[in-house]
Structure 1
Amino acid sequence: MNTHDLDNMGCGSSSSKKGRKSEKAIKAALIIQNWYRGYSARMKARQCYALTIFQSIEYADEQGQMELSNFFSFMLANYATVREEDPELVTRLFHGTLQDNIDRDDYVGLIDVPYSYSGPRLQFPLTFTDIDLLLEAFKEQQILHAYYVLEVLFETKKVLKQRPNFTHVRTSPSKEITICGDLHGKLDDLLLIFYKNGLPSEDNPYVFNGDFVDRGKNSIEILMILCVSLLVYPRDMHLNRGNHEDFLMNLRYGFTKEVLNKYKLHGRKILRLLEEVYTWLPIGTIVDNEILVIHGGISESTDLNLLHHLERNKMKSVLMPPVPLNEDLASDFQKTKAGASAMPRKSNTSLPEQLSKHEWEQVVDILWSDPRGQRGCYPNKSRGGGCYFGPDITSKILSKYHLKMLIRSHECKPEGYEVCHDGKVITVFSASNYYEEGSNRGAYIKLGPGMKPRFVQYQVTELTCPKPLYQRVHAIESSAIRILKERIISRKSDLICAFELYDRSKSGKLSLGQWAFSMESILGLNLPWRSLRLHLVNTDKDGNIDYMSSFQDIHIQKPVKEAQSTLIEILYRYRSDLQIIYNVIDSDHSGLISMEEFRTMWQLFCTHYSVHIDDSQVDELANRMDLNKDGNIDFNEFLKAFYVVHKFDHLNKSDTNLAGQK
């Protein structure tokens, strides 16, 4: 039978119809595929813009924290001019480097663990069963008794004091090592790592690369698990110091508050001992003499030989640079505990107990620096500390010290890790959902001899079925826009002045470019303002911005109604800084400072930060803060009264996106 006969019988027609149907199906599939790719790309762009907002504001806050170091130096040098005596202030800022003699019996000798305590009971010397005991208890949200916390910290300090500044470790074909990045108090991530990768042991060594604490709600639990694991497996558990293993960072980012809430009776002792434990943490790990593992990064002047030999325990806080002090003051400081008066004054000599300025800068670079694609080494203006280092700096430092790779953490990455500088620098970040649920994955690295690093990614979710992509992205966007608006309202007066410089006709309108330039010049967040306008302002049919709509659905709640708006904005903007300064000055932890101390603190603060507020306004505010007129102010409680009211706590439309695309 020939083809013509088949066509006459209808077979050709049937085949042709099937072909056309198949062609339509392929076209439909391609259309759907292209639509989904575009949809996914838009979702990815929206998520990326939201993460940019989170990270920009996070780094701006860290920049403010680093600025505090300059303020403390200024305060110590000038406090004598406004108050005759304050040895307690000096003790608070320097006692960690001046004395290393906390008496163990004084701290734990009088603490009893009552029979009614139902949490985990550790048995010293610790064994692997104690690790299991802690993990199971913390899964059930039990609190470890303060007695055991203090004992673990004392034992940890004893072990860490024997460690060099850089721990050298070796891998073998049967013994890979696991590198974990920032955890930031996110216990679920640590539990998931141990579930996927196994508990620490002689055959399963770990390096945890700093930032165990702050931000998350389970920092003390993470710290206890890591410390107990270190005590059980001291040769196979390695802890590097991060920039958040710092008591001044803890005051701002939540760990201090967490400890005091969980340990109301002995919390101060735990925090005091922790300050010493932090100083003894190694500042890096070197794997197989080839791979340098440090928390932040390097600079063009990084000197590993110097870093190997400096006395790391003298670095109580990265935020406290060496302060020039009077030669005779060193002995006076030692007497402050006994009640002797000591006054800091300007001088050109440094206390022998402090690191030199050059040594201090070396450690700051190690803990705070970030890699960038641009060649060279230049100041890290986003964070305010450390530097940005380019691929040429990486090659230079690695070559100088015969190393092949740098593994660091310190930066949240959407996929949990990132490789840059031609494969010579790896960033690993182990806290998933860092900014918001769904915002990023976590990851850890597996290293073996002569092998390429292997990356393991994960993302903790409490939901059995994750939310649809658009819901997850929308939640991230909403949270990002919320904190951005709070940043905007804290600079309302400055922004209005910037807007009005362009609006000479008093129309209330600006071009998109003028508005975007004003936002960036005042806030300095390096954000895509043109795209973000959809969430922040109203636009007329000609594309002009109604600039006052930047503040339309948000305002700062005033704790004192009569206070001027400018003063309220400044107090709100610097509330975290002021709270830390207050806690440092409140050396007896009474919760109160005198009216005189408040005025002194405010005058120094205004001078150093170039804040221009009339003294009469501050006096009036102080008088109103002294509610019972006893001459004392509960400044912490006062600052808690500041909060931002969001009239419309949602995005304009659920399908509006940060990338400015529809």
Structure 2
Amino acid sequence: MDDFKNQKCLHKRYAYQIVLQTREMLRAMPSLVDITVSDGNHFTVCGDIHGQYFDLLNIFEINGLPSQENPYLFNGDFVDRGSFSLEVILTLFAFKCMCPSAIYLARGNHESKSMNKIYGFEGEVKSKLSETFVELFAEVFCCLPLAHVIKQQGLCCPWRSFSVDGVKLSQIREIDRFSCSHLRKHPLADLIVRSHEVKDEGYEIEHDGKLITVFSAPNYCDQMGNKGAFIRFKAPELKPDIVSFSAVPHPDVKPMAYANNFLRMFS
């Protein structure tokens, strides 16, 4: 993490080890992951990071590093747009390898090959590692779970992918995320935490508190001026405690620096 902070690259050998080990761990996980939080303990949910590595470090500074006693869920959209996406994803994957119960990762719409080709992650991976890693990351992203349930009381889903009401959690468990089919139905839960959209304060509460959007990339793309946020849940009540934070400085590498040339003209 310190090397990344100083804009140093990880040797390809170690990057391979991290990504391959993460792939094996994710392959063994179900599409819907159950998370139990023991009474007196807490659990933190973060939204989109979008390659803003220095803001990720700030989250860890505010809330502590991921550990068995301080677990996190990152709710999709780790990469693209921000120009430190590789540092973000390797850091999250490394924590997953070091302590699987310290960190949980859900798939967002930017964990896909087509989005990565346009919005910068593919170009960044080619520049910092090699083209071989592009295919490897695409494969690993397909292994990411789709959603998480915290102690059977709340459901965390990464993005708006639902259009039909009335579907049970058991039906999500049966989804084969490795096939071409896609999750299109809305499960029932006491509280749904989603991400995917910029919010001025880093979060938004809707539907009488039953739906919370959390977005963890402050001053998105260096121009939106929004705050970031994360949510802490403490058992047994699991009431959401929302923490907002502002952007921190980062090296002078513009967002979308590795993006498709056409998009970069307008960034």
TM above 0.5, yes or no, is yes
What amino acid maps onto 2:242 in structure 1? F
Deviation at 1:212, TM superposition (A): 0.2
**Larger helix fraction of residues:** 1
Q: Deviations over 1:238-285 (max 9, x none)?
A: 00000000010001111111111112xxx2210111111011100011
Q: Percent identity?
A: 38
- Distance of 1:181 and 1:451 partners within structure 2: 18
Q: Against the structure 1 CA distance between its residues 181 and 146, is the aligned structure 2 distance closer, same or farther, given a 3 Å change threshold?
A: same
Deviation at 1:175, TM superposition (A): 1.6
Is 1:446 the equivalent of 2:232?
yes
Deviation at 1:300, TM superposition (A): 2.2
Of 185, 190, 193, 1:407 maps to 193
2:178 corresponds in structure 1 to 313
- Distance of 2:238 and 2:170 partners within structure 1: 27
Aligned length: 255
2:164 corresponds in structure 1 to 300
SS in 2 for 1:249: helix
- Distance of 2:119 and 2:27 partners within structure 1: 27
- Distance of 1:163 and 1:302 partners within structure 2: 25
2:133 corresponds in structure 1 to 270
Is 1:235 the equivalent of 2:116?
no
Unaligned residue ranges in structure 2 (runs of 5+): 251-258
Deviation at 1:439, TM superposition (A): 1.0
Are 1:206 and 1:237, in contact at CA under 8 Å, matched by a contact in 2?
yes
SS in 2 for 1:456: strand
- Distance of 2:69 and 2:145 partners within structure 1: 22
Q: Against the structure 1 CA distance between its residues 437 and 151, is the aligned structure 2 distance closer, same or farther, given a 3 Å change threshold?
A: same
- Distance of 1:257 and 1:150 partners within structure 2: 18
Larger Rg: 1
Deviation at 1:215, TM superposition (A): 0.1
Aligned CA-pair RMSD: 2.2
Of 205, 211, 230, 1:419 maps to 205
**Larger strand fraction of residues:** 2
Pairwise mapping of residues 328-477 of structure 1 onto structure 2 (< 5 A)? 355=181, 360=182, 363=183, 365=184, 397-398=187-188, 403-437=189-223, 439-448=225-234, 449-462=236-249
Deviation at 1:313, TM superposition (A): 1.7
What amino acid maps onto 1:219 in structure 2? S
Deviation at 1:136, TM superposition (A): 1.1
1:188 corresponds in structure 2 to 54
- Which of 1 and 2 has higher RCO (CA within 8 Å, sep 6+)? 2
Unaligned residue ranges in structure 1 (runs of 5+): 1-134, 316-354, 367-393, 464-575, 580-635, 645-662
What amino acid maps onto 1:450 in structure 2? E
Q: Against the structure 1 CA distance between its residues 172 and 305, is the aligned structure 2 distance closer, same or farther, given a 3 Å change threshold?
A: closer
Q: Deviations over 1:147-192 (max 9, x none)?
A: 2111111100111111111111112343200000000000011100
- Distance of 1:232 and 1:252 partners within structure 2: 31
Are 2:81 and 2:221, in contact at CA under 8 Å, matched by a contact in 1?
no
1:258 corresponds in structure 2 to 124
Is 1:205 the equivalent of 2:68?
no
**What TM-score, normalized to structure 1?**
0.37
**What TM-score, normalized to structure 2?**
0.89
Q: Against the structure 1 CA distance between its residues 217 and 435, is the aligned structure 2 distance closer, same or farther, given a 3 Å change threshold?
A: closer
- Distance of 1:262 and 1:144 partners within structure 2: 9
Are 1:279 and 1:314, in contact at CA under 8 Å, matched by a contact in 2?
no
- Distance of 2:134 and 2:17 partners within structure 1: 13
Are 1:149 and 1:270, in contact at CA under 8 Å, matched by a contact in 2?
no
Are 2:42 and 2:232, in contact at CA under 8 Å, matched by a contact in 1?
yes
- Distance of 1:418 and 1:643 partners within structure 2: 32
Are 2:126 and 2:133, in contact at CA under 8 Å, matched by a contact in 1?
no
